[in-house]
Structure 1
Amino acid sequence: MDASNSELVVGHTDSGAESIARRLPSSHVVASFQAKPSELLFDVFEARASSSRPNIVYCGDHAPSEELAAALLGEIGFAPVDAGPLRIARLAESFGMLATAFAYGHEEGPKWVCHFCRSK
């Protein structure tokens, strides 16, 4: 995002996650949380015992790191969804812009995003 949080700086042919992975070549980057407003995290955590959890996508290029990330996302209270390789972060980061526009333009506010992405 740019300084005004209104435009993607990268995302058309690259993603922030891929950029981080290039800067830290000995690390294994797993991207997630692009479309989840931070205001929801406490509510999701408090409802983590619920059978109906909000979905959250993650993506990466290193299976063991993805498995660890999925486990952590599950412990927080999300239903993790493997979206594929790290290059999918380009789409997830763009979707984050759409989710943000809806979240802050909808009468329910950020909670709308969890209703939109609820698992069954």
Structure 2
Amino acid sequence: MGKVLQVRVMAYTFDPDDVRRTWPLLYTQVWGERSPRPDEMRGVAELVQALDDGLRFEPWDGRVKKVLEPGVRSLSALMQQLETALGDWDPRQANSLSERIEEGLSELEKELAKA
């Protein structure tokens, strides 16, 4: 790695609209119907963080919190593991974790639909 040009391993959501289309109930739960600010990213990582923040700070219905809490805690842990894998330059582990995160969000979406 050079002194000026650095190599990074990272994960990001290519098209944030995919998040809204794939998990519409979760998206609306955390961000409502308002449009994002021009500088606001609403990708997968941001969705997981917003869900975690919502559980802690938002006055969500108790039933919704009860449904979301176990899955959100698990997703937050997976996101931390993903950050570690990226920091360790372990793309294989990072890819596996990204798939588990997406699967977890899909499961939460189904659970939220039942609430």
TM-score (norm 2): 0.31
TM-score (norm 1): 0.30
Comparing both structures, which one devotes a greater share of its residues to strand?
1
Comparing both structures, which one devotes a greater share of its residues to helix?
2
User: Larger C-alpha radius of gyration, 1 or 2?
Assistant: 2
